Amino acid sequence: MKKERILRVLGMKRVVSFGDLVRESNVSKSYLSEFLKVLRERGLILMGESIKVTDLIEFLRFWGEKKRKILKRINSFLTDTLFINDFLSVLSNKDYVLSGQFVENLITKQSSGISLWVYVFDENTYLELMRGFSKKRSGRIKVMFYDDHIKYGSSFLQGYRIVALEQLAADLIAEGIFTDIKVLLK
């Protein structure tokens, strides 16, 4: 998840100093240097006095591919409910952030999406939700116990805390969903 912290800060800032990137991603200087080398070799960033993302679309695609690998290693469960709002009402007093097609559709003002990702940061919250909702091995709501750095750049939309748009784009790419990134980031 350290790599995703770095990608998240770079994706949202687009231009950042090395020191600020260390501080905001909360990773060691040596780890950051090694990962920046990979990003530079792939042509995703330029380095000088500051670090600059060269092509945001390609950068987000790379981030989405990294995210796909991360998703295979984290604790999560799937659930389904007839009404997503019933599930969301349970989150009202919890620390969470939302992502997925549901959020994309909130932003683009389309009807509710097919999938909803719920990131939670407290193990007790995760276990409580799992006990209450984990009845199936499939569903359109994915609840994940995750690093709280994912709240970086998050905001509220229609009363829900949602991930930053760049994070949403990477999540949709990781999920294998086509999205018009340029429209999403307007």
* DSSP H or E segment with residue 44: none
- Residue-wise pLDDT for 34-48, tens only, equals 999 999 999 999 999
183 pLDDT above the threshold of 80: no
In the structure, what pLDDT confidence band is assigned to residue 59 with cuts at 50, 70 and 90? very high
CA distance 131 to 134: 6
- Residue-wise pLDDT for 72-92, tens only, equals 888 887 776 656 777 788 888
Domains of the chain by range and CATH?
Answer: 2-54 (1.10.10.10), 75-184 (3.30.460)
Residue 150 has a pLDDT of: 92
* DSSP H or E segment with residue 160: strand 160-162
- Residue-wise pLDDT for 1-17, tens only, equals 899 999 999 998 999 99
| Cβ(181)–Cβ(57) below 8 Å | yes
CA distance 48 to 40: 11
In 58-140, the DSSP E strands lie at 76-79, 96-99, 116-120
Q: Which two tokens stand for residue 47?
A: 């380095």
- Residue-wise pLDDT for 111-170, tens only, equals 665 778 888 998 888 888 887 776 555 567 888 888 899 999 999 988 889 999 899 989
The phi and psi torsions of 51 (rounded to 5 degrees) equal -105, 130
Dihedral sign computed on CA atoms, order 90, 154, 72, 74: negative
Q: How much is the pTM?
A: 0.80
